[in-house]
Structure 1
Amino acid sequence: MSGFPLLSALWILPAAGALICLVLPTGFRHAARPLALGVSLATLGLAAAVGMSYSPSGDRFQLVESRPWIPSLGTGYILGVDGIAVVLVLLTAVIVPLLLVAGWRDTSNTDPADRSTATYVGLFLAVEAMVLLSFIALDVLLFYILFEAMLIPMYFLIGGYGGPNRSRAAVKFLLYNLFGGLIMLAAVIGLYVVTSRPGSGTGGATFDFRLISEAVAAGTLPAGAGLINALFLGFMFAFAVKAPLWPLHTWLPDAAVQSTPATAVLMMAVVDKVGTFGMLRYCLQLFPEASRTFAPVIIALAVIGILYGALIAIAQTDMMRLIAFTSISHFGFIILGIFAMTELSQAGSALYMVNHGLSTAALFLIAGFLVSRRGSAQISAFGGVRQVAPVLAGTFLIAGLATLSLPGLAPFISEFLVLVGTFERYRVAAVIASVALVLAAMYVLWLYQRVMTGPPGAGVQGLRDLVPRELVVVVPLIALLIGLGVYPKPALDMITPAVAGTSIEVQPPAAVADGGIP
């Protein structure tokens, strides 16, 4: 490759920033927050350069960098982006600096010798670097290493900062995801062995995603249906835990509630997208026949997750836990669109990843600002906030309406595309999933009514409205939700060509084609 290694710089910059923050000497630790923010903004600039350098009408993978890593194992340092990776890179780069500002006072110790603040922001940058590299990696082994490695800084962010039960939540998060990763490791090794067989079409044992996917498309990969199904399940299980897909979701609510709001958003809006991204890139493109075989089962689980997350959200008395359960429902929509296997549904899913990240960040962070003022997340502790903090109440309403996919806000078009694309092949699944639209209106509007309307309670009367630092976080998120809701074309222009190369042209089962239950 000639020219500036833009993709390498994209992840090396936050990785270097993380390292510097973690090793800052005592006299310089007060500079950790502004340093981390500056690094994240510079990373955003690099991500914007990646977006501007990408041409939707160009090659499938662009800005490719390829260098030898461990040639004897057939693995290399191979980077490249398609349209789906580009929009997720941009999402990550936009979210992280906003989270650093939102969590500016999460570690309030003013002792210059205290390491907690420098560690906190350093871990944020470490997660950003690993997530970015996972989106741009074109080597299966490199992707797997990052898929597992990002659990380490997330574990310390959850377990080191947050609620009283954060240690338990962090261990649960780690055990669930490590178990999924170990299953995936077996599948990665199995895939490598398959590529080493004569006639594989890959030129020998390799982890190069491009070579393997080309061999799969050409039908030269020497593996029986049973082995391919097993490999698919190994990858899919790990991604379903990360995403998460019902019933592998139980780690998410605890981790989200016990974390700081900034950490919870980093996990739900950014890190968990690696799971759904993996389904689109690795499950569908490396194992198309297995994806077709298991699609009805996965769609059924996704629909259950959609309804389950919405129903459980309605029953919550804790505001933060309610919002966490809405994410389980939204991830169900994303996975439904992926495995409906139409270009329309998959384009909607890829766009949904971005829009869910923005809407969840807005709602969870605004709720976090409110909870920090009141000192309680119990919905019953609020009431009448609109009268004492109208800007906070107004932005909370907009974020809530985005969460229920109100037309004109970003999640609407992505949810609409998922449902319309799913209806083309799985009509009953699409109809049942549509019920969640009504449930979403119930939990969002009921939450707003209980928290924001009515006379101010005794503990609410002195609440202050959003301050400038908080507005710096909220205003860009609201602007993006409105902008992508009114004009989603730039994102869809990037996503659609990539999805066209990802989609599997398959015929649905006869019962499904007739509108039956998948």
Structure 2
Amino acid sequence: MIDISESVMQLLLALIVVGPLLGAAAALLPAPPGLKGKTPDQAVLRHGVTVTGVILLAAIVLALGFDHDHPSKMQATTDISWIPALGIRIHLGVDGISLPLLVLTALLTFLCALYSYFKMPSGPSPKAFVALVLVLESGTLATFAVLDLVLFFLAFEMVLIPMYFLIARWGGAGRQAAAWKFILFTLLGSVVMLLGLLLIGVKAGTFDMVALATDNGRGLTTSVQVIAVLAIGIGLAVKTPMWPLHSWLPDAHTAAPTVGSVLLAGVLLKMGTYGFVRILLPVAPDGMRTFAPYLAALAVIGIVYGSLACLNLARQGAKGDLKRLIAYSSVGHMGFVLLGIATMTPTGVNGALFANIAHGLITGLLFFLVGALKDRAGTSDLDTLAEQGGMALYGRAPRLGGLLAFAAVASLGLPGLAGFWGEMLALFGAFEPADGLSRPAFLVFMSIAAFGTLLTAAYMLIVVRRVCMGPRGHETPALADVHGYEFAAWTPLAALTVLAGLWPAALLGLTDPAVQKLLAGGLK
């Protein structure tokens, strides 16, 4: 760790939030300043790599300068009055909960920009593509950094339009319908969420999330908390996505370009569960306790439903799309995150936060790999890929096949890889839920979720068998193995998956003190 003054930390966090917006504006200029390329398209794509690289570097320096001895303390804070009449402030800060999500967002966006520099998806001008990716990055980073309910809502909504256009303009078949479904679901959820946020702000007399968390719901009646959790929870659940509000996700992932799928799964889905942890758990603990059993029930239904949907798509003759399969797997994985949150215990919430990061790394890698497979084979249809002895990736492109198998076993929660710890801690949290919650009910939820892990292993191993194994036919053409730029974009995700699996204390050491502080009032 390095010693950095608080003022420099404040500037770094401001740069991380605002920098991508400035980069997006610069990308739309006739020529990105200071950058030259063989063509204008190459110049603007290089500009995207440069800006996201600077933001990633700033996030890493912020993480290095973070006081790891006090991760529960808000650091790099900026608190400026913005709209005094409404009590709205520009309040930024990071703690052990938000810091890993900031770094994950900056990393995934940089890797997507790097990948797009060499493999730009077909569609309109790269200028618009780069600008949209940067606006998306700014909105996501702001969501994890702001500490005002109104600013949180604005940042939460800021990502919708860029993702809509990324799907609608650079996506594949069915992209228009998928983009409309995405925007309608999320906007309708957000309208309800805004009402809940305003209710909390008006009744508590402040929109400041730190003050609200410190008060721990004492300034809000139980009925207000229940209404607020219901309203805000619906908006967050759509973005998570929670069953049965998930139906936009498979269509969006199937139609989205590769980098759109990576950012959607790796970053955007985390915004919903982050809102549960940052806002609802500390601000409305009584309301959360009321809805926790229902949230846990819907979470485990999502785990089993997502796994069964994947098993159906993976079977021979189902004409299952691999991107769609991974999208349904996300419904199951985010179910574990919601189950951990619903336990309202430090163990469960830490598991949820760990599973969030693990899902971002592993599913981001899976979507990169399936995108590369689709580029090579011209399809992501599992039956087509498995015809005539299968893709036999181990024989035709061994590095690509090995990476796909690695990502698959990481996704099914193999011990020693990142996917294991979050799911295990969520199950442990359900084994001993918070006071006031029915332990017998949560033991049932835990058992169902544990059964879901077996289903996850089943469909992932079927995918590996059908795509990676099998005899290579004599007339089967060769496949290009992993390219250099793909290796550069994928290696950090694979390495961090292993690192988080072997050294979970690095992440849990950040989140646990912050979670303990967050839940302290609610656990009394």
Normalising by structure 1, report the TM-score.
0.91
Distance 1:191 1:483 in 2: 40
Distance 2:121 2:299 in 1: 41
1:89 and 2:102 matched: yes
Change (3 A) 1:337 1:454: same
1:100 and 2:116 matched: no
Distance 2:19 2:522 in 1: 42
Matches within 5 A, 1:259-408: 259-316=256-313, 317-382=320-385, 383=390, 384-408=392-416
Report SS of the residue matched to 2:212.
helix
Distance 1:320 1:503 in 2: 37
Paired AA for residue 369 in structure 1: A
Contact between 2:412 and 2:460, CA under 8 Å: does it hold in 1?
A: yes
Report SS of the residue matched to 1:68.
strand
Report SS of the residue matched to 1:407.
coil
- Which residue of structure 2 lines up, in the alignment, with residue 19 of structure 1? 25
- Which residue of structure 2 lines up, in the alignment, with residue 516 of structure 1? none
Contact between 1:5 and 1:65, CA under 8 Å: does it hold in 2?
A: no
1:405, CA displacement in angstroms? 0.6
Distance 1:310 1:387 in 2: 29
Report SS of the residue matched to 1:76.
strand
Paired AA for residue 168 in structure 1: A
1:460, CA displacement in angstroms? 5.0
Report SS of the residue matched to 2:97.
helix
Contact between 2:307 and 2:459, CA under 8 Å: does it hold in 1?
A: yes
RMSD between aligned residues? 1.9
Distance 2:180 2:429 in 1: 38
Report SS of the residue matched to 1:392.
helix
Structure 1 unaligned blocks of 5 or more: 196-204, 509-518
The more displaced of 85-94 and 472-481 is 472-481
1:339, CA displacement in angstroms? 1.1
1:477 and 2:493 matched: yes
Report SS of the residue matched to 1:103.
helix
Identity %: 35
Distance 1:19 1:55 in 2: 33
- Which residue of structure 1 lines up, in the alignment, with residue 438 of structure 2? none
Distance 1:28 1:280 in 2: 43
Matches within 5 A, 1:64-463: 64-107=77-120, 116-195=125-204, 205-216=205-216, 219=218, 221=219, 223-316=220-313, 317-382=320-385, 383=390, 384-425=392-433, 426-456=442-472, 460-463=476-479
Distance 1:385 1:460 in 2: 11
- Which residue of structure 2 lines up, in the alignment, with residue 51 of structure 1? 63
Contact between 1:319 and 1:378, CA under 8 Å: does it hold in 2?
A: yes
Change (3 A) 1:264 1:460: farther
Change (3 A) 1:460 1:236: farther
Contact between 2:42 and 2:117, CA under 8 Å: does it hold in 1?
A: no
Change (3 A) 1:29 1:344: same
Distance 1:9 1:167 in 2: 34
**How many corresponding residue pairs?**
492
Match of 2:54 among 7, 30, 42: 42
Match of 1:496 among 484, 492, 512: 512
Contact between 1:288 and 1:504, CA under 8 Å: does it hold in 2?
A: no
Structure 2 unaligned blocks of 5 or more: 1-5, 33-38, 314-319, 434-441
1:235, CA displacement in angstroms? 0.8
Contact between 1:44 and 1:93, CA under 8 Å: does it hold in 2?
A: yes
Paired AA for residue 163 in structure 2: M
1:441, CA displacement in angstroms? 1.0
Distance 2:110 2:498 in 1: 20
Contact between 2:118 and 2:485, CA under 8 Å: does it hold in 1?
A: no
Change (3 A) 1:428 1:96: same
Contact between 1:107 and 1:116, CA under 8 Å: does it hold in 2?
A: no
Report SS of the residue matched to 2:413.
coil
Distance 1:84 1:226 in 2: 28
Change (3 A) 1:158 1:458: farther
Distance 1:430 1:505 in 2: 25
Distance 1:466 1:390 in 2: 9
1:43, CA displacement in angstroms? 0.7
- Which residue of structure 2 lines up, in the alignment, with residue 512 of structure 1? none
Distance 1:458 1:287 in 2: 64
Contact between 2:31 and 2:43, CA under 8 Å: does it hold in 1?
A: no
1:111-167 superposed Cα distances (whole Å, 9 cap, x missing partner): xxx962121122111111111111010011000011112101111111111112101
Report SS of the residue matched to 1:272.
helix
Distance 2:350 2:153 in 1: 25
Report SS of the residue matched to 1:5.
helix
Report SS of the residue matched to 1:65.
strand
- Which residue of structure 1 lines up, in the alignment, with residue 317 of structure 2? none
Contact between 2:46 and 2:117, CA under 8 Å: does it hold in 1?
A: no
